[in-house]
């Protein structure tokens, strides 16, 4: 779960019954929660290749893009 807190406020249940209720509710929430969202938009293979090529060119030729490597 994502930092949520489950609390039982009834005084009629024993500690073991309360623990069983909490465990069942947590299991239910885990079973029925939606899958995690994607980390964000994925970079296309073409964009990845272009970025990699640009980085490689920068490492081979220090004056790529007009700046010398440090």
Block mean pLDDT (10 aa), the chain, length 70: 68 86 91 84 86 74 57
CA distances from 57 to 3, 49, 52, 61, 67 (A): 45, 12, 9, 6, 12
Compute the distance between CA of residue 67 and CA of residue 37 in angstroms, rounded to an integer: 39
What's the pLDDT score for residue 24?
93
What is the pLDDT, as a whole number, of residue 66?
59
Q: Please tell me the predicted confidence (pLDDT) of residue 70.
A: 59
Q: What is the pLDDT of residue 51?
A: 85
Give CA separation, 49 vs 13, 52, 60, 70, in Å. 61, 5, 16, 24
Find out whether 6 and 21 touch, Cβ atoms under 8 Å.
Answer: no
Domain coordinates of the chain in residue numbers? 1-36, 42-70
pLDDT value of residue 28: 93
Q: Which residue has tokens 């938009």?
A: 41
């Amino acid at each position: 779960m994502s930092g949520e807190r489950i609390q039982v406020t009834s005084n009629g249940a024993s500690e073991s019954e309360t623990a069983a209720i909490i465990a069942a509710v947590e299991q239910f929430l885990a079973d029925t929660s939606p899958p995690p969202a994607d980390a964000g938009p994925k970079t296309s293979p073409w964009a990845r290749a272009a970025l990699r090529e640009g980085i490689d060119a920068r490492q081979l030729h220090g004056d790529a893009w007009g700046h010398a490597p440090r």
